[in-house]
């Protein structure tokens, strides 16, 4: 690199489809970067339309709005260069592109070459791949461009270097998952060492449906060392010098901290971007709803959250007391609404249908569905979204009532196993006690019948969760999982429960994705299937 460049990373929280609003944010950031003395400001992938735009890309109206926004952004790029991600429409198709604007003109335009089509990514549905490198001479440095997946494969980076690139800038829309930042930086370091070219990696931040983008924009020098790292989950403009070894390097957070922050940001953006007035949830006195309440308050503030305890004859007094105590600590509105009358009315209505038949889970499900009715009614009346409180372990094996405790508009801990729920409760209490200790230590129970415990229906969670991880994350078979020391019959039972519960999960609320494979965008099992594990 012949000269130093002062780089600004515009780590923005944008809104998918809000092209005009995103363009205004981009123009403001260009002005801020110019005011900070930056030479070049780099924006995230598809910043103009937001990421991922999905089938919005097919709308003619979006195409017109993008064209108008690009003119506005190009005109604003005065006195500072700007690399801006956008969808490029051409006669040959749509491209995931990045334009290099400088002094009111377009100095270069790059089309993403490596289009991911795995996990949560479906880019081959929308985009055509670009071909060849783009290198722009800029203030004494030859700047190459790549986009996100282009750095995960060697080809595009090496081609840029062969074309003379001395710095590679990379707009990204890389969603959070546990330990993802370390993976990103390992790949960036490998590419930098292979090519001898520094890499400026600008990532998106914010929640978008099930995905949370965690930022963590960074500069990796030509030797593969992290020279700058922006904070995770924080929107902002972060400036550094390509020739400096002393840039801001925000430490990597612990697994629990980063996961918790992802959940908080995911809830905050889902509620606010979709225009809800706040959130309401059933607070049962159990650990799942306790964690969900803590996340909701941290995301939205106590004034925007309502907790509702809905006791029935099987609800323990300690459950009511513990729920009340947590609501008091967090300062949220707390209402106790018994469901005895709702359940009795339903059972009376069905008495003729049930005559001569023994009681079973049907009666338990009526209790759960009565609670769902109450919560949804409050949501309709107040404009607050219902937060479902189920965890990944329950969703996996179907230990949840469809239209009951599964009712809701968003499920914050949907991708957290029960084991992780306990870990996150401990983490959150470590910041300041908000969950009563008895909630964490008592045996988990749905409290739908006398003396009920989760262990009556499920293997212990320290057995269940590793089996689920082996199935979902690693795609292991019964035999392979059993070889790790689990009883084959238990493994077969769990995997069978997962298969049978697929129809429930298809009707479940979306929730924050924190693992490398969550129920939702990257879980596509058939409902109707004769496959036997």
Q: Which fold has domain 7-243?
A: Nitrilase/N-carbamoyl-D-aminoacid amidohydrolase (3.60.110)
Across the strands, what pairs with 143? 136, 167
Sheet of strand 198-203, all strands in order from the earlier edge strand to the far edge: 135-138, 141-145, 167-172, 198-203, 218-220, 226-229
Domain boundaries, the chain: 7-243, 259-505
Residue 244 is predicted with a pLDDT of 64
Confidence (pTM): 0.94
pLDDT in tens, the chain (533 residues): 557 899 999 999 999 999 999 999 999 999 999 999 999 999 999 999 999 999 999 999 999 999 999 999 999 999 999 999 999 999 999 999 999 999 999 999 999 999 999 888 999 999 999 999 999 999 999 999 999 999 999 999 999 999 999 999 999 999 999 999 999 999 999 999 999 999 999 999 999 999 999 999 999 999 999 999 999 999 999 999 887 656 789 999 999 999 999 999 999 999 999 999 999 999 999 999 999 999 999 999 999 999 999 999 988 898 899 999 999 999 999 999 999 999 999 999 999 999 999 999 999 999 999 999 999 999 999 999 999 999 999 999 999 999 999 999 999 999 999 999 999 999 999 999 999 999 999 887 766 667 777 777 889 999 999 999 999 999 999 999 999 999 999 999 999 999 999 999 999 999 999 999 999 888 989 999 888 77
**Active-site residue flag, 45:** yes
Alpha carbon distance 314, 517 (integer Å): 36
> Tell me, what DSSP letter sits at residue 213?
E
**Active-site residue flag, 123:** no
The two tokens of residue 318 are 């300690």
**Active-site residue flag, 6:** no
Residue 448 is predicted with a pLDDT of 65
| Virtual torsion, Cα 161, 162, 164, 167, nearest 10 deg | 0
Q: Which residues contact 418 (CB under 8 A, 6 or more apart)?
A: 288, 391, 392, 393, 394, 444, 461, 464, 465
Alpha carbon distance 91, 394 (integer Å): 48
Residue 220 is predicted with a pLDDT of 95
The residue annotated as part of the active site, out of 112, 180, 418, 504, is 112
Alpha carbon distance 340, 462 (integer Å): 35
Residue 458 is predicted with a pLDDT of 85
Alpha carbon distance 452, 448 (integer Å): 7
- Taken as a whole, the chain contains a residue count of 533
The residue annotated as part of the active site, out of 6, 45, 185, 261, is 45
CATH class label, 259-505: alpha beta
The two tokens of residue 102 are 């400088």
| Pairing relationship of beta strands 93-102 and 205-208 according to DSSP bridges | unpaired
The residue behind tokens 């019964």 is: 478
* C-alpha distance across the termini of the chain, in Å: 56
The residue annotated as part of the active site, out of 49, 148, 157, 218, is 148
Alpha carbon distance 357, 405 (integer Å): 25
Alpha carbon distance 216, 182 (integer Å): 10
Q: Do domains 7-243 and 259-505 have the same CATH topology?
A: no
């Amino acid at each position: 690199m012949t000269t130093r460049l002062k780089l600004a990373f515009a780590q923005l929280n944008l809104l998918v489809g809000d092209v005009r609003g995103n363009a205004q944010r981009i123009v403001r950031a260009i002005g801020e970067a110019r005011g900070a003395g930056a030479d070049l400001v780099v924006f995230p992938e598809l910043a103009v339309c937001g990421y991922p735009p999905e089938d919005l890309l097919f709308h003619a109206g979006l195409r017109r709005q993008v064209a108008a926004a690009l003119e506005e952004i190009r005109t604003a790029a005065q006195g500072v260069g700007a690399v801006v991600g956008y969808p490029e429409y051409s006669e040959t198709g749509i491209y995931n592109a990045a334009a290099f604007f400088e002094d009111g003109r377009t100095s270069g335009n790059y089309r993403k070459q490596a289009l991911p089509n795995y996990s949560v990514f479906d880019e081959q549905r929308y985009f055509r791949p670009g071909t060849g490198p783009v290198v722009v001479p800029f203030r004494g440095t030859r700047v190459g461009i790549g986009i996100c997946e282009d750095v995960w494969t060697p080809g595009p980076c090496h081609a840029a270097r062969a074309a003379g690139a001395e710095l590679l800038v990379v707009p990204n829309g890389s969603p959070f998952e546990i330990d993802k930042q370390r993976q990103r930086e390992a790949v960036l370091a490998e590419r930098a060492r292979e090519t001898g070219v520094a890499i400026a990696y600008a990532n998106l931040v914010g929640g978008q449906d099930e995905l949370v983008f965690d930022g963590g924009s960074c500069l990796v020098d030509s030797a593969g060392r992290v020279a700058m790292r922006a904070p995770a989950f924080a929107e902002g403009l972060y400036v550094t010098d390509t020739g400096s070894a002393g840039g801001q390097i925000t430490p990597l957070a612990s697994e629990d901290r980063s996961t918790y922050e992802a959940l908080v940001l995911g809830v905050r953006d889902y509620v606010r971007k979709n225009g809800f007035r706040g959130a309401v949830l059933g607070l049962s006195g159990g650990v799942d709803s306790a964690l969900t309440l803590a996340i909701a308050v941290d995301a939205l503030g106590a004034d925007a959250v309502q907790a509702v305890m809905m006791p029935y004859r099987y609800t323990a007094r300690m459950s009511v007391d513990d729920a009340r105590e947590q609501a008091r600590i967090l300062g949220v509105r707390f209402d106790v609404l018994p469901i005895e009358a709702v359940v009795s009315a339903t059972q009376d209505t069905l008495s003729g249908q049930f005559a001569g038949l023994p009681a079973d889970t049907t009666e338990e499900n009526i209790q759960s569905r009565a609670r769902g009715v109450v919560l949804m009614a409050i949501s309709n009346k107040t404009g607050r979204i219902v937060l479902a409180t189920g965890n990944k372990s329950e969703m996996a094996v179907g230990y949840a009532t469809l239209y009951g405790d599964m009712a809701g508009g968003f499920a914050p801990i949907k991708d957290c196993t029960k084991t992780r729920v306990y870990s996150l409760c401990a983490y959150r209490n470590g910041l300041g006690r908000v969950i009563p200790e008895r909630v964490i230590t008592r045996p988990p129970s749905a409290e739908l019948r006398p003396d009920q415990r989760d262990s009556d229906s499920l293997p212990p969670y320290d057995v269940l969760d590793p089996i689920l991880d082996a199935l979902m994350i690693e795609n292991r078979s019964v035999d392979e999982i059993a070889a790790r020391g689990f009883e084959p019959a238990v493994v077969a039972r769990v995997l069978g429960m997962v298969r049978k519960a697929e129809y429930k999960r298809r009707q479940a609320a979306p929730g924050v994705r924190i693992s490398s494979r969550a129920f939702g965008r990257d879980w596509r099992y058939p409902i109707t299937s004769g496959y036997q594990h």
